[in-house]
Amino acid sequence: MEIKDIISENYHDLEAFSNSKKSFYSSAMPFPNIELNNFFNQNFLNKVLKEFPNLENLEKTNKYINKNEIKYANNQYDLFPEIIKNFLDFLNSATFLNFIQNITSIKENLVADKELNGGGLHEIRKGGVLKIHTDFNRHPKLDLDRRVNLLIYLNKNWKEEYGGHLELWDRDMTKCKKKVLPTFNKIVIFSTNDFSNHGHPNPVNCPNDCSRKSIALYYFSKGRPLEEINKDYIKNKTYFKDRFGYFNDTDNKNDKFKNFLRNFKFYKLIKNFEKKYIRKK
């Protein structure tokens, strides 16, 4: 499959386009990001949407039902329809990886995650939510740092009143700096670190017979700038954040005891053994 079959005509020259948008991306608020409309070939993405499975019924789907998130997610590549596999292969290819590398101006070499840890297909139905958070920033199995999020929206005729906007919040969680309506063939690329607060904190209000569908991919590197690291984050996990002015907005479990254990070498050895031998299996 050639690039012209996947990318829309306006973006065929990915190198030239990314060069023209580097400064825009780097200076965007509240952290580096860019929103692009009609990025993919319309006919191709229609086929992707047509084959998008009902995640509620798909084998090995993760169902999240709690105060912080109500959604379906599946990263089981082998279970996906062929056209979605082809799409994911392209998004993890050297061609697309070079585009992401170029537009973000990240110095460290980016690496695709073909296991789709935390990524893959996502679906949120009426009432679903994903509270503002920062992502886990280390690969769960490899010695790599998570650097870039790519979100692709597949929602035709999505109305403003349905909500489900992606919100980007400032570092202090005092104000939403950007809102993105998740309409069909829109992509968002943003740099992810310990301060890139994002999510869609208000329940989706779409009709019962539709859902907020998206595809998510994450790109990693070996090492990252120190200023992107919050030293208070001892555990590699998703940290949910309360919005300013909202009381009891999220559910944050008390990790004080585990954080105490994490200071000891034996605990780290046990966790490293688990990652290396148990999780890989």
| Residues 245-273 pLDDT 10s | 998 899 976 555 555 555 666 655 665 66
Write b or e for each residue in 183-217: b if 16 or more Cβ atoms lie within 10 A of its Cβ, otherwise e.
bbbbbbbbbbbbbbbbbbbeebebeeeebbbbbbb
**pLDDT mean over 51-56:** 97
Q: Are residues 165 and 263 both part of a single domain?
A: no
Tell me the backbone φ, ψ of residue 60, rounded to 5 degrees.
65, 20
Q: Are residues 84 and 100 in the same domain?
A: yes
Backbone angles phi, psi at 179, to 5 degrees: -125, 135
Whether 137 and 274 share a structural domain: no
Tokens of 259: 């954080």
Are 184 and 279 within one domain? no
Q: Is the pLDDT of residue 280 over 80?
A: no
CA 97 – CA 228 distance, rounded (Å): 21
Contact 61, 126 (CB under 8 A): no
Beta strand 129-134 with 186-191: parallel, antiparallel or unpaired? unpaired
Q: Are residues 229 and 270 in the same domain?
A: no
- CATH number reported for the structural domain that contains residue 45 in this entry: 2.60.120.620
pLDDT of 281 higher than 50: no
Residue 78 has pLDDT above 60, yes or no: yes
Same domain, 83 and 29: yes
What is the tens place of the pLDDT at every residue in 154-175? Answer: 999 999 999 999 999 999 999 9
Query: What is residue 254's predicted lDDT score, i.e. its pLDDT?
Result: 56
pLDDT of residue 265: 63
Mean pLDDT of the chain: 92
Query: Can you give the residue range of the structural domain that contains 267?
Result: 255-281
Check: CB of residue 222 under 8 Å from CB of residue 145: yes
- How many domains is the chain partitioned into structurally? 2
Per-residue pLDDT, averaged over 119-128, amounts to 97
In a shared domain, residues 237 and 260: no
In this structure, is the dihedral angle defined by the CA atoms of residues 165, 71, 101 and 91, taken in order, positive or negative? negative
pTM for the predicted model, two decimal places = 0.89
Are residues 217 and 273 located together in one domain of the fold?
A: no
